[in-house]
Amino acid sequence: MGKKMRYLLDYQEGERVVGFCLVKSKEAGVASNQSEYLNLELGDRSGTIMAKLWDVNAEIKEAIQVKAVVKIDAVVQSYRGKKQLVIQRIRLASPADEVVMESLIPISPIPPEELWGKLESVIHSLQSKTLQAILLEAISDSEIGERLRQYPAGVKMHHNYYHGLLEHIVSLLTAAERLLPLYPQVDRDVLYATCILHDIGKLYELSDPIAPDYTTPGQLIGHLVMGVEIVTGICRKLGIPLGDAEVLHLKHCILSHHGEVENGWGSAVSGKTPTAVLFHYLDQIDSKMNAIGQTLSDMGEEEWAYANVLRRKVWRGY
């Protein structure tokens, strides 16, 4: 019933594409006949693709801006082994087009309500009233709560799609839950709180969930320390003493989750508890599995494809 929606990356070389998409980047050039053209990066739910718009006039050049929604009529061609669009016609979308955000950006395959439910149930299961109060306060905050339902976990490395951060958190919570019985030396509640809050600073390190860029505070302070400051702010609000041992432990896990300081990967301090050490590896596993998973699903028929997160090729297997 009803034909399946086709997205940008679903079309093959030679096909004609008519549809809506988002302008992700734009640069102007001058051809040898001295007319101007635009190189556009266009995106929708399926990903992004480069597009060429020849012979642009000043009006079009001005109208087509980054983050604009446009309707295009284009042909897929091959350029340097990759598909590229050559645009025949283009116009800005209008409200009348009733384009929905979900069709324009990549999005986590898991519904946000399901993820949110899992998050809440873990928080309610905590035995530490201190950590539970901090977490409830965090997700009840209207700004944090809203962003947590929207933000990706990063600009490009992993879980880089709508509510990707929430998916990453819930995946970590599940992994933590499953490994905890094996390692009784780990503090269960601190581990769960770290899963939820380790990247909470990213909600302010990144500018927005659609075409995220780094904010100025994000670049000056970084999401690890920003996360710690959010925790401290909540503690002050709730009257939790800053020297509380569980709070210290939680902050330690946030500050050390990029691994050992000596490796130069961005931790403010090296992990010094089993909980901190375990979390670092869980985070590595979940982010790398997600990124390699994306590479594997994009590689089509190829047996090997380059995975940015590993800086080498990965094997599709048999």
Segment 150 to 209, residues that bind its own copies, using CB under 8 A: 171, 174-175, 178-179, 182-183, 185-187
In the stretch 263-302, what mask flags binding to its own copies with x, by CB under 8 A? xxxxxxxxxxxx--xx--xx-xxx-xx--xx--x------
Cα gap 118→185, rounded to integer Å: 25
Please choose, from the candidates 41, 46, 48, 44, the residue with its C-alpha nearest in 3D space to the C-alpha of residue 25.
41
* Secondary structure element (H or E) that encloses residue 277, with its range: helix 274-298
What lies within 8 Å, CB to CB, of 275 at 6+ separation is 186, 187, 190, 191, 194, 249, 253
**Shorter beta-carbon distance to its own copies: residue 147 or 249:** 249
Subset of residues 34 to 73 that bind its own copies, contact rule: CB under 8 A: 34-37, 39, 52, 54
Asked whether the beta carbons of 104 and 44 are under 8 A apart, the reply is yes
**Shorter beta-carbon distance to its own copies: residue 99 or 115:** 115
Q: Which stretch, 2-10, 32-40, 93-101, 116-124, contacts its own copies (CB under 8 A)? A: 32-40
Q: How far is the CB of 203 from its own copies (least distance, A)?
A: 14
Q: How far is the CB of 232 from its own copies (least distance, A)?
A: 6
**Shorter beta-carbon distance to its own copies: residue 136 or 261:** 261
Burial class (CB in 10 A: 0-12, 13-18, 19+), 23: buried
Q: Left, alpha or beta for 163 (phi > 0: left; psi -120 to 50: alpha)?
A: left
Sign of the C-alpha dihedral, residues 118, 104, 78, 26?
A: negative
**Shorter beta-carbon distance to its own copies: residue 104 or 200:** 200
Q: Figure out which of the listed residues 242, 298, 302, 308 binds its own copies, where binding follows CB under 8 A.
A: 242
If binding is defined by CB under 8 A, does position 139 make contact with its own copies?
Answer: no
Q: How far is the CB of 100 from its own copies (least distance, A)?
A: 29
In total, the chain counts a number of residues equal to: 318
Buried b (16+ CB within 10 A) or exposed e, 292-304: bebbeeebeeeee
Subset of residues 205 to 234 that bind its own copies, contact rule: CB under 8 A: 216-217, 219-222, 224-225, 228-229, 232
Cα gap 269→253, rounded to integer Å: 9
Q: How far is the CB of 308 from its own copies (least distance, A)?
A: 14
Q: Which stretch, 27-35, 98-106, 132-140, 151-159, contacts its own copies (CB under 8 A)? A: 27-35
Cα gap 112→176, rounded to integer Å: 20
**Shorter beta-carbon distance to its own copies: residue 51 or 107:** 51
Q: Applying CB under 8 A, what is the total number of residues that bind its own copies?
A: 88
